[in-house]
């Protein structure tokens, strides 16, 4: 009969689906508690074990520090630590609202991420939250023919109002807007070449979106690491910044972006931003979260 060694450390975790009101849709997230002192290498290994788009690690501090600076959280993909990511921010704040209500102040949970402090404001009686992302930084404009070749699209698919451009609200994405969402069916990112090209331009991945014709509804896709992300909240913040900055969407107008349809993980993201003295600000990305599972990690 097999025997199992006793763990030297047990860590509680929860799994939630983010940007959805339906379990097993949206973007899955693992949230690990009580990780103060846990080595970075161990966090990365745990993220690989969960094998989700991201895993977050909560490192609690005294309540006064958390009230002023936020609850310390680190975010990992299966391959690297990220300074900021949208669905981990929203999902982790939702978990804290339910599991650690002392972190909720004026219906807001504030997270201290590597990129800085990010607030998530919740509706009173639900897990619908809206994060306020950093004001955007607009980077390099990209040559449409090169972007078309790297994404499997045609330049005629692109929106005429503005060229593809690198934008960051904490993590830099190349925003590509289409005349119609129908061209998304042909998206095939050449990951190896695209990664090299985008790193040279200051970006990480392509975020491609187009209107559905049912204004203000859009569809989006984000292919990375050889796969596809069901919902990308950080890229969505970059996208609404781009759309408002280039006059494609009006300031303060909320748009509904659906992502993950092609991989059976439909996600609903609600975006808005303001334009003050010609600068985009108050970048908002909202959505709901559903609890799916909880358990313990047994670590040697």
Question: Which sequence positions are flagged as catalytic?
Answer: 54
Neighbours of 147 (CB within 10 A): 22
The backbone torsions φ and ψ at residue 147, rounded to the nearest 5 degrees and listed phi first, read: -65, -40
85 vs 247: CA distance, rounded Å: 25
Q: Where are the alpha helices (DSSP H) in 56-213?
A: 63-69, 86-99, 144-151, 191-201
Which residues lie across from 131 on neighbouring strands? Answer: 120, 285
Within 13 Å, how many C-alpha atoms sit on residue 230's CB side? 21
Helix (H) or strand (E) holding 22: none
Q: Where are the alpha helices (DSSP H) in the chain?
A: 40-50, 63-69, 86-99, 144-151, 191-201, 233-245
58 vs 96: CA distance, rounded Å: 9
147 contacts 178 by C-beta, under 8 angstroms? no
Residues ≥6 apart with Cβ < 8 Å to 188: 151, 152, 223
87 contacts 131 by C-beta, under 8 angstroms? no
21 vs 280: CA distance, rounded Å: 29
256 vs 134: CA distance, rounded Å: 20
């Amino acid at each position: 009969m097999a025997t199992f060694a006793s763990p030297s450390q047990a860590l509680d975790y929860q799994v939630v689906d983010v940007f959805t009101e339906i379990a097993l849709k949206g973007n899955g997230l693992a949230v690990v508690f009580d990780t103060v002192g846990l080595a970075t290498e161990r966090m990365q290994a745990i993220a690989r074990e969960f094998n989700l788009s991201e895993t977050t690690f909560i490192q609690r501090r005294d309540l006064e520090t958390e009230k002023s600076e936020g609850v310390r959280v680190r975010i990992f993909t299966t391959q690297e630590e990220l300074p900021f990511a949208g669905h981990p921010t929203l999902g982790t704040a939702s978990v804290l609202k339910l599991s650690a209500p002392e972190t909720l102040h004026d219906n807001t949970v504030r997270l201290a991420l590597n990129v800085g402090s990010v607030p998530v404001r919740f509706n009173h009686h639900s897990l619908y939250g809206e994060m306020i992302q950093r004001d955007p930084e607009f980077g390099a404009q990209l040559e449409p023919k090169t972007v078309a070749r790297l994404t499997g699209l045609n330049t005629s698919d692109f929106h005429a109002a503005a060229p593809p451009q690198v934008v960051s609200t904490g993590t830099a994405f190349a925003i590509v807007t289409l005349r119609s969402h129908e061209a998304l069916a042909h998206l095939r990112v050449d990951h190896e070449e695209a990664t090299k090209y985008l790193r040279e331009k200051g970006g990480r991945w392509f975020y491609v979106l187009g209107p559905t014709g049912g204004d203000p509804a859009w569809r989006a896709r984000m292919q990375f690491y050889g796969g596809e992300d069901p919902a990308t909240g950080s890229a969505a913040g970059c996208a609404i910044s781009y759309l408002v900055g280039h006059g494609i969407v009006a300031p303060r107008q909320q748009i509904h972006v659906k992502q993950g349809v092609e991989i059976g993980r439909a996600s609903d993201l609600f975006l808005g931003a303001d334009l003050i003295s010609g600068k985009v600000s108050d970048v908002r990305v909202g959505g709901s979260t559903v609890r799916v599972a909880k358990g313990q990690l047994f670590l040697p």
